[in-house]
Amino acid sequence: MTDLQPEQRRHVRKRLDCTVPAIRTDNGQPLGYLADISKEGFKVICPVPLERESQLDLILELPNADSVRQIEVTAECRWCLPAEESEEFGAGFHIKSISDQNQVALNYFIRDFEY
């Protein structure tokens, strides 16, 4: 498994202290919840291990001031490891495909969201 080191990332990841669901579009079921996010990727905490290099179509439910903004992405799992403090797993994803409109929404969320 390859774990990206922070110095290899082009964008700083924003740590999330609120629940931001990641939902599979193929079956509508939650994959897990986001632990952090950047313009190019995110970490999901999930109950089962994920296969490295698998591509998933996901909906990320990003909170804003008075509602939730759903953005759709196609992302590739780069690594998956057991979580340190629970029986869950942490999985690092790289965003492979996102619409221009959803990229703008993601950029604003990263810049402006306060939890």
Query: pLDDT, tens digit, for every residue of 31-81?
Result: 999 999 999 999 999 999 999 999 999 999 998 767 888 999 999 999 999
Domain count, the chain: 1
Flag whether 24 is in a domain. Answer: yes
Write out the residue range of the structural domain in which residue 17 sits: 8-101
Contacts of residue 10, Cβ cutoff 8 Å, sequence gap at least 6: 40
- Evaluate whether residue 93 is within a structural domain: yes
Domain assignment present for residue 74? The answer is: yes
For residues 47 and 75, the answer to whether their CB atoms sit within 8 Å is no
Q: Which pTM does this prediction carry?
A: 0.85
Over the stretch 83-113, which tens digit does the pLDDT of each residue have? 888 899 999 999 999 999 999 999 988 888 7
